[in-house]
Structures are given as C-alpha cells and as structure tokens.
C-alpha cells in the first residue's frame, strides 16, 4: 500500500466506514511509515478537536429583529404598490384630459395625433443624438491627429479611463447595503 492510498483510508477510518481488513492494512502501513504515522496523529488530533462542536447562538431578541425587518420589507412593498397605483391613476386621468386639451376633437383622432407627435419627437431625438455622436467623433479625430496618435488608440485610453473611474466609484460605494439591519437595542 502506498501513502496516497493510506491517506484516503485514514479519512474513511475517521468517518467510521473503513472495513476491518482495510483497517488492518492501514495499521500495518502506519507501523512502517513515519510520515503517515505523523499525519494520522494530526488527523486524530483534529477530529478530537472537532468531535464535540459547540453550536453558537445569536444574541437574545434575534427573532424580534428579523420580524422587524420583515415588517419594514412589507411596508416598503405596500408603499411601492401604492405609488404604482397612484401613478397609474394619474396617467389615466392625464390621458382622459388630452381630448379636452386638444379642443374637443374625436378622442381616437386626438390620440392618433398625439402618438404621431411622440413618434416625430423620438425621431428628432435620435437624429440629434446621431449628430452629437458624429460631432464628438470629429473632435476626437482632430485631437488624435493633433497628438499624432491613431484614433482607435485614443478611444481605448478614453474608454479605459472611464471604466477605471466607474470601478473606483463602485469600490467606494460597494459596502452600502439596501436594507437596514436591525441591531440589538434598536
């Protein structure tokens, strides 16, 4: 038997699942191998340390603190639901008021005109964004040519700087939790 096998058998012996013949072979190996013998002693010492583990209990009032968190969570949920309902009602009222604001026209026509207006506005916003992006690209191109470096290299530096700034900001704020935890005495 080699030491690798004996190590596995030591674990099985600690779990109480090693058969008697295998146990005998392990014992014989331990008598001849000082390294395994020392390891067996260490594993037994560990098992003795952990054989009667102590179960830790939380500080008194733990159930109350959890219940308080549950109450807080439910209150937040009710507030959110109430807010959504209120917003929905407000939107419904606004939509109902649109025809009268448009001078009493047919509601379907009025909504159609309204939706066409929204569509046209979206188109203008997209066009404006495109023009702004093009302008930014031209500015970067001029700057890159002036600095004598390729545009893609400059873009890589800019993107890298933005990501580093975001990562630094995230590391500063990463420890702020969303829900409050209740401390003893609160």
Partner 1 sequence: MDQEQRWIEAACQGDRDAFGHLVQAYQRPVYNLTYRMLGNAQEAEDAAQEVFMRVYRKLDTFDPDRKFSTWILSIASHYCIDRLRKRRLKWLSLEDERLPPVALTSHQPGPESNVIQSEREAQVQALLDTLSADYRAAVILHYWYDYSYEEIAETTGSTVSAIKSRLFRARRMLAQQLQAEAKTSTMALAY
Residue 3, interface with partner 1 (CB under 8 A)?
no
Rounded-to-integer distance, Cα 166 and Cα 176, Å: 16
Q: Which is nearer to partner 1, 41 or 160 (CB)?
A: 41
Binding-site member from 3, 11, 90, 133 for partner 1 (CB under 8 A): 11
Residue 2, interface with partner 1 (CB under 8 A)?
no
Give 7-34 as a DSSP string. HHHHHHHHTT---HHHHHHHHHHHHH-H
Locus of tokens 């530096």: 157
Please name the helix (run of DSSP H) or strand (run of DSSP E) that holds residue 75, with its range, or none: helix 62-101
Residue 55, interface with partner 1 (CB under 8 A)?
yes
Residue 39, interface with partner 1 (CB under 8 A)?
yes
Rg (CA), the chain: 36
Residue 174, interface with partner 1 (CB under 8 A)?
yes
Binding-site member from 35, 62, 100, 160 for partner 1 (CB under 8 A): 62
Residue 146, interface with partner 1 (CB under 8 A)?
no
Residue 58, interface with partner 1 (CB under 8 A)?
yes
Residue 55 per-residue DSSP state: P
Whether residue 26 contacts residue 10, with contact meaning beta carbons closer than 8 Å, is answered with yes
Closest contact distance (angstroms) between CB of 60 and partner 1 is 7
Whether residue 30 contacts residue 1, with contact meaning beta carbons closer than 8 Å, is answered with no
Binding residues for partner 1, per CB under 8 A?
Answer: 7-8, 11, 14, 38-39, 42-43, 45-46, 49-51, 53-60, 62-63, 65-67, 69-71, 73, 171, 174-175, 179, 181-185
């Amino acid at each position: 038997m080699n030491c690798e096998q004996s190590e596995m058998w030591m674990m099985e012996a600690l779990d109480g699942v090693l058969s008697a013949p295998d146990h005998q072979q392990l014992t014989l190996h331990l008598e001849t191998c000082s390294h395994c013998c020392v390891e067996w002693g260490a594993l037994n010492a560990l098992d003795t340390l952990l054989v009667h583990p102590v179960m830790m209990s939380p500080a008194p009032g733990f159930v109350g603190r959890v219940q308080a968190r549950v109450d807080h969570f439910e209150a937040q949920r009710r507030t959110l639901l109430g807010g959504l309902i209120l917003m929905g009602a407000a939107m419904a009222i606004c939509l109902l008021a649109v025809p009268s604001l448009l001078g009493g026209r047919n509601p379907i026509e009025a909504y159609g005109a309204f939706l066409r207006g929204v569509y046209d506005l979206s188109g203008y916003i997209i066009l404006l964004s495109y023009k702004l992006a093009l302008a930014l690209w031209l500015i970067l191109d001029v700057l890159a040519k002036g600095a004598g470096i390729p545009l893609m290299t400059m873009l890589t530096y800019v993107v890298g700087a933005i990501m580093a700034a975001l990562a630094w900001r995230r590391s500063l704020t990463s420890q702020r939790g969303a829900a409050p935890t209740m401390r003893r005495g609160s």
